Structure 1
Amino acid sequence: MALKTTKPKQNYIAGISLGVMGAGFAATLPFHEGALGLRLLQGGFEAGLVGGLADWFAVTALFRHPLGIPVPHTALLPKNREKLTEAVIAMIETELLRKESIGEKIKSIRIAELALNKAKAGIEAGSYNNVISSVLLSVIRNIPVKQLTGILVREIQQVADHLDEKTILNRLWNEIVERGYDEKVLDLALDRADAWARQPETRDMLGRIGIEQIQQIKLGGLMQFAVNAFLGYLSEDKMGDLIQGFVLKQVENFRDPDNLNRLKLLAILHVEVNHALERPELLEEIRSWKDNLLEKLDLENKIEAYIESLITRFQGIVESGEFQEQWLSPFMRTMLERLEESPERIEQAEQWIQQQAVQLIEKHYSKIGALVRENLNKLSNAELVTFIEGKVGRDLQWIRINGAICGFLVGVGLSLIRALV
């Protein structure tokens, strides 16, 4: 901020007092041998004139050369402005604005509590709703969809690349076994086999296939005669009933959880699956399938479209009339209530704010003196003199006035003593 260097007004009072003393001295000069009263006045005016001139010279010598005459030890301020500047800076840094005093003042202010009360009042009045809504809308509208899509696609691809197919398959198979899904699949297959075997078409097919298979048996002699006799006894219907009954009986036996054949079948299934999971070809096939799946899914376009749809939905929510009343205000009230219920958090925030403020002051404290020096150096000698006179001009005038008055009284006193002696 620029310093005001306007010349003070009404700086003529001291000049008037000096003029009065001079005029009085001139007027009473012819009567120095006259009556006692005139001699007293003449002595008073003389001494007042001397005192006023002396104080005028002293005050003027602070700022400039009296009457422009370069009298030694005058114009003290322009000659010693560097010392004055350093003295002002030292006074500010060591007396007026010490780091310790500033830090103590900051610590005495409960900044966090003040901010919390201010925020609470603003939330209750709804002062922040429009501002926060505008900020949210600005954030939503400026979400970098392309960049965010690229990040998500790369993350998904990296996750997929680092997947251990063998570990996943083993975990999947272990989960299937632990949940009993292997037995449930077997029971489902048995149900399907039972339903299939009970169909008349199945019985007829089994009977026909059975007869055909027996007819293909080629034996010699008596054994062939026995087989042909057996075939003459059986028909496709009877053969179908026999095979159908056998299949249904075996299906029923496999449904028994303690059936030995069922347990053996499950054990064989487990062994075969574990062997299959160890095959490199299977793992490579799954890996290739995974890569092809990612390519076919067209992740980038799908994710980008999904993000844009989310942005549109969020924007519509924020712009809706009920957002501030139903969502924003309750949310902020809840956050403030939770914060008020945790005095330790408020105290932690208070300590952190004060610590940051003190550190900021310590870091930039030297800039106060530098700023004072910079502002003072911007002023020329004439501007600096005018600036100081503008601040203390009235007091300096009274020094001159008091000098004239005191001189007048002293002169009267001395004249009286001289007359009496």
Structure 2
Amino acid sequence: MVANNYKATCILGVVSLGFLISYPLQHTFIGGLFTGGFGAAMIGGLADWFAVSALFRRPLGIPFRTAIIPRNRERIFKALVEMVENEILMKENIKTQLENYNVSGILIHFMVEHRGKSYLKKILYRFLQDMLAQIKPEEIAAIIDNVVPYNNKEKVKISPYMIDILEWLIKNGYHEKIIDMMINELIIVAKNKQLKHLLSEVFIDIRENYERGMNRRKIFNRLMNLSPKQVASEAQQALEVILSEMKDTDHSIRKQINAWLNDFIIKLKTNERFQQSIEDWVQEKILRKLNLGNYVAQGMVTLYGKEAVDHKQMIRWLALITDQIDKLIADFETDTERRAELDLYIKTILSGWIDTHHGKIGMIVKDSLNEFTNDRLVNFIENKVGNDLQMIRINGSVVGGLVGMVIYLLTFWF
């Protein structure tokens, strides 16, 4: 903005000086030609200076129809909120872009390429450390011995033990610790550069769909300088803030998680069809598929057979389970059916979440905009479009000067 503002001011100064110098010679042809040109250029430059300045402030202290942007602050904010909520980030756009993404592929890529497996193992390790420090050996050994079908035992119902474990977690407040642990890990993921890259790609796709066939939208985006990296960075920061706020046990999302967990337990107790589906899934997808039960049962019984749990022993036992996690991820990577099921499941959850919380987008945008004071709003818009607006002043002087000369020539001869 400074460059064009300086040019426009210099041009206005030059044409004004030219008018003053040529005015005494206006009775001659050349003097009249320059006087007409410089005079029209000066008037055009002054008029456009007033018009551009009137957008942001009160030039010459004139209050009538000036300071247009500050006076129309609320209308501008309302239009921006509606544009973001109902055009750029409308539900249909977000859902369409969500459908185009391979969620399971992104998950696998994160697990394999970006230390996702190490995050998962770290979470498991912390969980086991706390669990081993709090629960009684005979209780967990008995549960595993009854639940896991190893040594040719008949399959027994898992859901009663699952209910007991979940109720024990809630009773002792351990579920809150697990949520805190998950939030901390999600914050680490939220800071990952790959997430920023992914958000940039999503924004580019949404913006291209938004701009398609609408020149006014392209112009608006250019003037407002909606950089994909900037938007992705701000979205990443907003996600970090939300996750940090979720550490508060009274946070609405945590309350929803707790409510969902209680509903899950009630449903597991009362709904036989749901109970059976959980039984089948655990047996088929986890225990039988990976033979994880043998490792868990044998390892836990071995550990609890001693008075103290040696750190190295726990590391060796944990390695057995993490090997199974590696196998689970590898199997999942090649199992297209399970990947499709996970894709559908996650997208269904996200779609419902979008339907429920989409209205908050407008509230977030409005709250962010309300932080702008009039001076800050003026400075923001001037920094984005001021350079282009100063070109109006330059063009006003140039075009005004040319028109002034043409008019002088026409009146001189005719």
Scaled to the shorter chain, the TM-score interval is: 0.5 to 0.7
- Counterpart in 1 of 2:75? 83
Match of 1:100 among 92, 95, 98: 92
Instruction: Give me the identity figure in percent.
Output: 32
Which deviations, in whole Å up to 9, do the C-alpha atoms of 1:321-362 show, x marking residues without a partner? 972895144211221233245322211110111122222222
**Higher RCO structure (Cα 8 Å, ≥6 apart):** 1
Superposed CA deviations along residues 40-91 of structure 1, whole A, max 9, x for unmatched, are 2221111111111111111112122212x23422221122111111111122
Shift of 1:320: 4.0
Who is 1:398 aligned against? 391
Q: Using the TM superposition, give the Cα deviation of residue 9 of structure 1 relative to its aligned residue in structure 2, in angstroms.
A: 7.5
Q: Is the 8 A contact 1:52 1:400 kept in 2?
A: yes
Q: State the number of aligned residues.
A: 258
2:65 to 64, 73, 85: 73
Matches within 5 A, 1:161-172: none
Q: Secondary structure at the match of 1:392?
A: helix
SS in 1 for 2:17: helix
Instruction: Please give the alpha-carbon distance, in whole angstroms, between the structure 2 residues aligned to 1:116 and 1:413.
Output: 71
- Name the counterpart of 1:155: none
What amino acid is aligned across from residue 28 of structure 1 in structure 2? S
For residues 258-407 of structure 1, what are the structure 2 equivalents within 5 Å? 310=303, 316=309, 319-320=312-313, 323=316, 327-407=320-400
Q: 1:16 aligns with which of 1, 6, 10?
A: 10
The worse-fitting range, judged by mean Cα deviation, of 368-377 and 103-112 is 368-377
Cα distance change of structure 1 residues 335 and 319 upon mapping to structure 2, 3 Å threshold: same
2:230 matched to which residue of 1? none
State which of 40, 59, 84 in structure 1 corresponds to 2:33.
40
Residue 13 of structure 1: how far off its partner (Å):
2.8
Secondary structure, in 3 states, of the residue corresponding to 2:101? coil
Match of 2:108 in 1: 116
2:337 maps to a residue whose letter is: E
User: Which protein shows a greater Rg?
Assistant: 1
Q: Deviations over 1:266-310 (max 9, x none)?
A: xxxxxxxxxxxxxxxxxxxxxxxxxxxxxxxxxxxxxxxxx9995
Asked if structure 2 preserves the Cα contact closer than 8 Å seen for 1:123 and 1:333, the reply is: no
Q: 2: distance between equivalents of 1:146 and 1:47?
A: 98
SS in 2 for 1:12: helix
Tell me, in whole angstroms, the C-alpha distance in 2 between the residues paired with 1:339 and 1:391: 48
Assess, with a 3 A threshold, how the Cα gap between structure 1 residues 394 and 334 changes in structure 2: closer, same or farther.
same
**Change in 2 beyond 3 A, CA 1:8/1:27:** closer
| Contact preservation (8 Å) 2:56, 2:68 | yes
2-side partners of 1:328 and 1:145: how far apart? 19
Aligned-partner Cα distance in 2 for 1:371–1:45 = 51
TM-score, with length taken from structure 1: 0.53
Amino acid of the structure 1 residue aligned with 2:10: I
Q: 1:420 to 1:314 in 2, by over 3 A?
A: farther
Confirm whether residue 27 of structure 1 aligns to residue 21 of structure 2: yes
Q: Which amino acid aligns with 2:411?
A: R
- Which residue is equivalent to 1:261? none
1: distance between equivalents of 2:305 and 2:39? Answer: 94
Contact kept, 8 Å, 1:317 with 1:323, in 2: the verdict is no
d(CA) in 2 for partners of 1:60, 1:144: 76
CA distance in 2, matches of 1:145, 1:88: 60
Give, as a single letter, the amino acid of the residue that structure 1 aligns with 2:397.
Answer: A
Structure 2: segments with no counterpart, 5+ residues: 144-299
